[in-house]
Structure 1
Amino acid sequence: MRSDDWYVTEDLDRFLGHAGGFLRSRPDLHTVALTVTESLRMRGLRAYGGDEPPVFGVMERDGQVRGAYFRTPPYRLNVTPLTADETDALAAHLVATGHPVPGIIGTRETTTAFVRSWQRHTGATSALRQRQRLYRLGTLMTPRPVPEGSARVAGEKDRDQLIRWYREFTQSVGETAAEEIESWADHRIAYGGVTLWEGLDGTPLSMCGVTPMVAGQVRIAPVYTPPHLRGRGYAGAVTVVVSRAAVRAGAEEVLLFTDMANNTSNVLYQRLGYRAVADFEVYDFQGGSGT
């Protein structure tokens, strides 16, 4: 592989014109790239904040797109599945273009190979931040007993609640929000992208988000229940409602990511009918010439 098999652009339309069909060919493995680029297309290139525009990369060989990446600064590089040779060419390409790479997210095989190449090309050190598992909904199942209460789509009156819970969610997983929290809440409310489970008295108890449908897929995210309300079945109940609504709306694939260190969530989603697709890893880089 040659590094010049890769090219970089800040033009989203150009990127999607070249790589859109490739991304849609595996909507499960490319779910993040599909949903983020759709959000950027609909909301503008600064939808995720940051002082720099997003960057996009495409690998073409023999007239065919074989890989892609994107990065919304200041966040990590997100890469489609690649072979070891392709990741090495990617590392050389990124060094040549001078774009900083503070970290990477991708399938386990891809990140493992890229980390080795990035360290060799730049001298950077790496730290494994998180192991994730991608799940796809099979046959939806409702766990019993179903808790008291009901689900409803969040609206304008819930804006402050969503902002508070999304902030708590990002803090609980040790991350910063990938976009301004207020903007996230407004966007989700606009398309009905968060459902609340509320008690009989109308008190919100849990929330489940879902991304807009792109290429026949949606992704469940985020799911959050305040610590003092966990273990009562609220998260499972609201996730079932959102999953069922996605299927009824025509989603061919309903996906979600879990933290592999969180056994509770992994067991829960399998009980709901979600089945593993692939393992992903998140790495951070420090030092060297490429961060």
Structure 2
Amino acid sequence: MQRGTTKGITVARTTAGRDFQQVSAPRVAAAPVIHSVVATTLAHALESPADYPDARWYWAKRDGRVTALAMHTPPRPFHVATVDTHVARAFARRVLTDGLQVERIGGLVTGALAFAETLAFETGGHIRVVRREGMHDLPRPPRHPEGVPGELRPARESDIPLLDAWARAYLDETGTEAPPRFPLQQWVARGDMQVWEAAGGAVSMAHASRPHGGVSRISWVYTPPEERGQGYAATTVAAVSARQRRAGHRCLLYTDLDSPASNRLYQRVGYRRVGDSCVLSLTRVR
């Protein structure tokens, strides 16, 4: 574990996921929505550490209290889970001190931009927006589309080859950075991956993360092109979200703000936009 201090803000880093879990747990519990990405990534890293050999976990303290979290889990972007620009800049200065090469930054817009600007100023780099995302929650029971045939069911082991192909297509279409490995077998075994079945076959999928701080993140929503336009994605998200709410969890999902169709889809189900995040690229020139 290593520490550094910037203007009253102490930044610490560790490569030990269990240590980070202990340090970060109170912060995640206090603000589970903005820390959903950190919490779900950490859970996967603890479960499959070989998938995250170069993971670095960061936290910032002010007046002896943990106030913000960040992480770097290559090949994913450096993730900044704060809107506090002073803390974001402190994270960036720590990265510079460590000599860490960061090419992409993700997280809440204000914090991610402050982090990227600090790196760019020190390195003479250029910042480019790769993706703009909206963060949405579900404040009330979802609205289910009418007249959509089929039913929701847990994915089975026999579905894994199909879901793997769909997951790769999802990454290609959305430009999302691939995880080190698709843990489909674990997701299926736990019942985290659900599919909508119609006419005897799976036509859409969605994943619901295990809850952290009471928040379950809905992701990996995908319908193959030949099945689109029939309401399968909306009804899958509605059904998966209803399932999580019945279990007492709050639902959260991210959308690509440059995809109006997907944003309208989630709004029809009942999701509301509660924040913005982004992915930025940084090109260094020195």
Q: Structure 1 length normalisation: TM-score?
A: 0.91
Q: Is the 8 A contact 1:105 1:281 kept in 2?
A: yes
Partner of 1:29: 34
1:29-48 aligned at under 5 Å gives the runs 29-41=34-46, 43-48=47-52
Structure 2 Cα separation of the partners of residues 141 and 243 of structure 1: 7
Structure 1 Cα separation of the partners of residues 142 and 77 of structure 2: 35
Partner of 1:264: 261
- The one-letter amino acid of 2:196's match is W
Structure 1 Cα separation of the partners of residues 11 and 86 of structure 2: 12
Q: Is the 8 A contact 2:8 2:62 kept in 1?
A: no
Q: Is the 8 A contact 1:45 1:53 kept in 2?
A: no
- The one-letter amino acid of 2:187's match is R
Structure 2 Cα separation of the partners of residues 93 and 127 of structure 1: 22
Q: CA deviation at 1:229?
A: 1.5
Partner of 1:175: 176
Partner of 2:192: 193
In structure 2, do the counterparts of structure 1 residues 63 and 23 end up closer, same or farther at CA, with 3 Å as the change threshold? same
Structure 2 Cα separation of the partners of residues 151 and 144 of structure 1: 13
Structure 1 Cα separation of the partners of residues 153 and 169 of structure 2: 21
Residues 1:116 and 2:80 are matched in the alignment: no
Give the gaps of 5 or more residues in structure 1: none
Q: Is the 8 A contact 1:140 1:274 kept in 2?
A: no
Partner of 2:17: 12
Q: Is the 8 A contact 1:3 1:90 kept in 2?
A: no
Give the gaps of 5 or more residues in structure 2: 1-5
Report the count of equivalent residues: 281
Q: Is the 8 A contact 1:46 1:53 kept in 2?
A: no
Q: Is the 8 A contact 2:72 2:78 kept in 1?
A: yes
Partner of 2:204: 206
In structure 2, do the counterparts of structure 1 residues 189 and 85 end up closer, same or farther at CA, with 3 Å as the change threshold? same
Percent identical across equivalent pairs?
Answer: 28
Q: CA deviation at 1:276?
A: 1.2
- The one-letter amino acid of 2:275's match is A
Partner of 1:66: 67
Q: Secondary structure at the match of 2:273?
A: strand
Which residue of the other structure, out of 240, 243, 247, is the alignment partner of 2:241? Answer: 243
Structure 2 Cα separation of the partners of residues 148 and 7 of structure 1: 52
- The one-letter amino acid of 1:276's match is R
Q: Deviations over 1:214-265 (max 9, x none)?
A: 22110001100111221110001111111111011121x1000000011111
Structure 1 Cα separation of the partners of residues 57 and 38 of structure 2: 10
Structure 1 Cα separation of the partners of residues 87 and 201 of structure 2: 51
Q: Is the 8 A contact 1:3 1:92 kept in 2?
A: no
Structure 1 Cα separation of the partners of residues 192 and 131 of structure 2: 26
Q: Is the 8 A contact 1:151 1:241 kept in 2?
A: yes
Q: CA deviation at 1:4?
A: 6.8
Q: Secondary structure at the match of 1:5?
A: strand
Q: Deviations over 1:119-159 (max 9, x none)?
A: 11122222111000010111223344231111111011111
Spell out structure 1 runs of 4+ moving beyond 6 A. Answer: none
Structure 2 Cα separation of the partners of residues 97 and 2 of structure 1: 18
Q: Deviations over 1:267-291 (max 9, x none)?
A: 11111111111000111112246xx
Q: Structure 2 length normalisation: TM-score?
A: 0.93
Partner of 2:154: 153
Structure 1 Cα separation of the partners of residues 118 and 35 of structure 2: 22
Partner of 1:218: 216
Residues 1:78 and 2:56 are matched in the alignment: no
Q: Deviations over 1:39-94 (max 9, x none)?
A: 222x132235xxx4210111112110111111112221111114222222222111
Partner of 2:101: 100
